[in-house]
A and B are shown apart, each in its own frame.
Chain A
């Protein structure tokens, strides 16, 4: 017995524990040591006679603070206070005042946070959606909100720098500069408004297709002139403004996406990806005691239930996948390969369909009028939408065979549909380019005169803008039509007609991946068309707002809660990756249009240049000499090569940092495991020694 007591003392002397990282832990383990003479397991925690408990707490706030940190009942604390004989009050007035002010500041911060949350667009709706349908569906609506804000801010950009100055200069009646045109006279003829009477329904057709009264308006590129205003200390060139606004718009969108991706990636790295799920953390710390009211409580409970179910299911699937025999694994992988080839085949078939449809529609467009013309104009959009509808449907059925885990299924479905959508858009753009530049051959008969196909496209930029406008509008109309004609009837049929078929089909489920793809596709279309149709971001903002409310209505009325839930943190990151892909596609189009194709001679602010970019060097010469030299230096090789090598150095450094952080996270995790093993060992030792 005495030897044991001595050993106990020696523990206290050498202070075995690695550090004061967890003061509470340290303290309670020391309590365990003190009372180890009585029992090891099931130590009575509520023993008020452990009078040393209060003194070993953090002393940094001074001695009188200890009593309130004592986890005992009020009567005991009062007795202690009496026994110490300390007169109350002990705290000086200054300290109390400081404490008071600190608390008030904290309260102010909390209130500010609450107000900010309230002001955030659709904050309450998103919370409601998250509670009822889980994090996956909520991430779709969060993504939609991000796009709405992005589009609105871009519209403000465009309005401020291009549309409003154009409006002002037009009203003021500033005459535009006429440089000597080097082309033939015929290329500059552009008649957007056909003379004579038009049939009444033509206005409606014009609204849908962007021709007629809409063509020569602020909507499209053709309306803007190369106005240049010069005052004593103020000069504003519309062509320069137009170009730089478009370029800045792209850069701004890139920065927004990358910033948002950065925060999503940080969360993924900090939690170590999807591998380190901490159930104890969720269960012990998951409840928010500030929840007031029945609805908020039920929402939180549903949230927790979903979270737990998702994590448990992922773990089950992982275990199942790991437990397959070699033969089963081989079978599964070969099945997946077969499905992949099948999906590839489907995609290729869809591409060729779109290609031929676009060609056919371009050919027929010039030979028909009225409703028929409208039909031919919308043919490519129809084929693209049909393909985008059918192929993912088939891919979904295929995905059921492949049996990936829920989060991977979503990502795979997303990637497959993304390829289809972007290449279908690319095919459309390719056929347009085909027609406009006569397959790139300048010396072709049609294009020789003006540098582009003048006969079919007197103002080709407006034409491209119109195509993008049609795609946007058609997308919105299809969504609304689906809502009204498919989803509501489906619900009514399922609810009111109880037959076997309706039981089998059931209420529909909100499919997140295809909806997100629709958003990314619309956004890519808007980016492609923004150079040619400056009002497109505004139209897109309105469209997305309408879409938000439509989707919300269909979600709450027609959809059932998802059977399979999936983790939303990694999928939010993937949505942004896919959006970035769309951005890259649009930027290729932008760079090509700015740098290579000859602008139309009959319309637009760049009509007298060889390409859009050449406005910049021309206006450069009007700057003071020093600025000119500086800008030339920036563009020269003497600057770009060192800059390039410096940025590669920085990139390598960041990559090295990233791998080091990953390694240290793994190391720390192993240390944590090791620490728990150490504690187990020590507890065993104590147990053995006490016997």
Chain B
């Protein structure tokens, strides 16, 4: 299970093709990029994990404001440190590929935005989300009043059962009305 030293055998390749939205070339490219990141001493270990700091050096993820959340969501490590194995890496690329379905993308987008991992988007999650979108530093944030007004508006528009949080189906309801979500939720190596 998982990637061995430097080769992917044919069986595993077709298995990955079956289980992800990636083509053969994309899987091979992912393997190549992943192997470049593995530190020299671990290159022969089966199922090695790359720490989050190394993953974030990839140019596609480096300046993305959600990069840490993405790593944490796709990581299967027990200590929840955001480290990714090759399987996790493929999961990530599959969800962000251009043939992934709207359901997959919206599911993972919801989990990425759920900063406290409680299954819903509460006020704190939405506040952190907006700060990520606008810049995160003091002079690029909205004022507290504007933030409150914005979050009130968002909850009024999308919180259908009026419980003060946005759950997965409400989130997917909003997403399904947007025509270019699928094309913007895309990372290609």
Q: Is B99 located at the chain interface by the 8 A CB criterion?
A: yes
Q: Is B39 located at the chain interface by the 8 A CB criterion?
A: no
How far is it, in angstroms, between the C-alpha of A284 and the C-alpha of B18 when the chains are bound?
30
- Contact check, B59 vs A680: say whether CB atoms are below 8 A apart: no
Residues of B within 8 A of A309 (CB): 142, 146
**In the complex, which residue of chain A has the Cβ closest to the Cβ of B14?**
A89
Residues of A within 8 A of B154 (CB): 279-280, 283
A681: shortest Cβ distance to chain B, in Å? 10
Q: Which of A1-47 contact B (CB under 8 A)?
A: 22-25, 27-29, 32, 41-45
**In the complex, which residue of chain B has the Cβ closest to the Cβ of A676?**
B160
Q: Is B138 located at the chain interface by the 8 A CB criterion?
A: no
Question: Which of the 9-residue segments A66-74, A321-329, A540-548 touches chain B?
Answer: A66-74
Q: Interface centre among B23, B76, B103, B175, by most A CB within 10 Å?
A: B103
Q: Is A679 located at the chain interface by the 8 A CB criterion?
A: yes
Q: Is A297 located at the chain interface by the 8 A CB criterion?
A: yes
A67-B18 contact given A42-B119, A284-B175, A290-B186, CB 8 Å threshold = yes
Q: Is B163 located at the chain interface by the 8 A CB criterion?
A: yes
- Contact check, A315 vs B161: say whether CB atoms are below 8 A apart: no
How far is it, in angstroms, between the C-alpha of A96 and the C-alpha of B59 when the chains are bound?
30
A284-B23 contact given A88-B11, A676-B160, CB 8 Å threshold = no
- Contact check, B119 vs A74: say whether CB atoms are below 8 A apart: no
- Contact check, A680 vs B161: say whether CB atoms are below 8 A apart: yes
How far is it, in angstroms, between the C-alpha of A281 and the C-alpha of B175 when the chains are bound?
7
- Partner of B171 from the list A42, A284, A288, A291 (CB cut-off 8 Å) is A284
- Partner of A279 from the list B14, B90, B157 (CB cut-off 8 Å) is B157
Q: Which of B153-189 contact A (CB under 8 A)?
A: 153-154, 157-158, 160-163, 166-169, 171-178, 180-181, 184-188
How far is it, in angstroms, between the C-alpha of A558 and the C-alpha of B110 when the chains are bound?
43
**In the complex, which residue of chain B has the Cβ closest to the Cβ of A296?**
B63
Q: Which of B89-114 contact A (CB under 8 A)?
A: 90-91, 94-96, 98-99, 101-104, 106-109, 113
- Contact check, B98 vs A292: say whether CB atoms are below 8 A apart: no
How far is it, in angstroms, between the C-alpha of A287 and the C-alpha of B1 when the chains are bound?
35
- Partner of A284 from the list B21, B120, B174 (CB cut-off 8 Å) is B174
Residues of B within 8 A of A641 (CB): none
Q: Is A657 located at the chain interface by the 8 A CB criterion?
A: no
A283-B130 contact given A74-B90, A289-B186, CB 8 Å threshold = yes
How far is it, in angstroms, between the C-alpha of A44 and the C-alpha of B168 when the chains are bound?
11
How far is it, in angstroms, between the C-alpha of A294 and the C-alpha of B67 when the chains are bound?
13
- Contact check, B118 vs A28: say whether CB atoms are below 8 A apart: no
Residues of A within 8 A of B59 (CB): 292-293
- Contact check, B184 vs A285: say whether CB atoms are below 8 A apart: yes
- Contact check, B172 vs A305: say whether CB atoms are below 8 A apart: no
How far is it, in angstroms, between the C-alpha of A405 and the C-alpha of B168 when the chains are bound?
36
How far is it, in angstroms, between the C-alpha of A515 and the C-alpha of B183 when the chains are bound?
36
Residues of A within 8 A of B149 (CB): 312, 315-316
- Contact check, B119 vs A43: say whether CB atoms are below 8 A apart: yes
- Contact check, A308 vs B161: say whether CB atoms are below 8 A apart: no
Q: Is the interface of A mostly helix, strand, loop or mixed?
A: helix
How far is it, in angstroms, between the C-alpha of A629 and the C-alpha of B172 when the chains are bound?
66
Q: How many chain B residues touch the partner (CB < 8 A)?
A: 77
Q: Is A78 located at the chain interface by the 8 A CB criterion?
A: yes
- Contact check, B18 vs A680: say whether CB atoms are below 8 A apart: no
Q: Is A683 located at the chain interface by the 8 A CB criterion?
A: yes
Residues of B within 8 A of A27 (CB): 103
How far is it, in angstroms, between the C-alpha of A44 and the C-alpha of B119 when the chains are bound?
7
Q: Is A272 located at the chain interface by the 8 A CB criterion?
A: no
- Partner of A68 from the list B21, B106, B153, B173 (CB cut-off 8 Å) is B21
Q: Which of B117-160 contact A (CB under 8 A)?
A: 118-120, 126, 129-130, 133-135, 140, 142, 146, 149-150, 153-154, 157-158, 160
Q: Is B87 located at the chain interface by the 8 A CB criterion?
A: yes
Q: Is B42 located at the chain interface by the 8 A CB criterion?
A: no
Contact with A along B39-73 (1 / 0, CB 8 A): 00000000000000000000110011110000000
How far is it, in angstroms, between the C-alpha of A367 and the C-alpha of B163 when the chains are bound?
85
Q: Is B17 located at the chain interface by the 8 A CB criterion?
A: yes
Q: Is A235 located at the chain interface by the 8 A CB criterion?
A: no
Q: Interface centre among B65, B91, B101, B106, by most A CB within 10 Å?
A: B101
- Contact check, B14 vs A88: say whether CB atoms are below 8 A apart: yes
- Partner of A74 from the list B19, B60, B163 (CB cut-off 8 Å) is B19
Q: Is A286 located at the chain interface by the 8 A CB criterion?
A: yes
A414: shortest Cβ distance to chain B, in Å? 28
- Partner of A294 from the list B15, B63, B126 (CB cut-off 8 Å) is B63
Q: Is A302 located at the chain interface by the 8 A CB criterion?
A: yes
- Contact check, B87 vs A74: say whether CB atoms are below 8 A apart: yes
Residues of A within 8 A of B88 (CB): 73-74
- Contact check, A73 vs B19: say whether CB atoms are below 8 A apart: no
Q: Is B20 located at the chain interface by the 8 A CB criterion?
A: yes
Residues of B within 8 A of A180 (CB): none
- Contact check, B176 vs A291: say whether CB atoms are below 8 A apart: no
- Contact check, B63 vs A88: say whether CB atoms are below 8 A apart: no
- Contact check, B142 vs A24: say whether CB atoms are below 8 A apart: no
A281-B119 contact given A68-B20, A290-B188, CB 8 Å threshold = no
A232: shortest Cβ distance to chain B, in Å? 59
Question: Which of the 9-residue segments A99-107, A142-150, A194-202, A471-479 touches chain B?
Answer: A99-107
How far is it, in angstroms, between the C-alpha of A313 and the C-alpha of B150 when the chains are bound?
11
A688: shortest Cβ distance to chain B, in Å? 13
Q: Is A77 located at the chain interface by the 8 A CB criterion?
A: yes
Residues of B within 8 A of A67 (CB): 18-19
- Contact check, A78 vs B171: say whether CB atoms are below 8 A apart: no
| 12 residue pairs bridging A and B, Cβ less than 8 Å apart | A22-B176, A42-B118, A42-B120, A45-B119, A75-B1, A88-B14, A88-B15, A279-B157, A280-B154, A296-B63, A301-B140, A308-B150
- Contacts A81-B18, A278-B157, A290-B186 known; 14 new A-B pairs at CB < 8 A: A23-B103, A24-B176, A42-B118, A68-B20, A71-B104, A75-B87, A280-B174, A284-B171, A284-B174, A285-B178, A288-B184, A290-B188, A308-B142, A309-B146
- What are the nearest 10 A-B pairs in CB distance? A74-B87, A24-B103, A305-B134, A89-B14, A71-B107, A285-B178, A297-B63, A683-B161, A301-B135, A280-B158
Q: Which residues in B have some Cβ–Cβ distance to A below 8 Å? A: 1, 11, 14-15, 17-21, 23, 59-60, 63-66, 74, 76, 87-88, 90-91, 94-96, 98-99, 101-104, 106-109, 113, 118-120, 126, 129-130, 133-135, 140, 142, 146, 149-150, 153-154, 157-158, 160-163, 166-169, 171-178, 180-181, 184-188
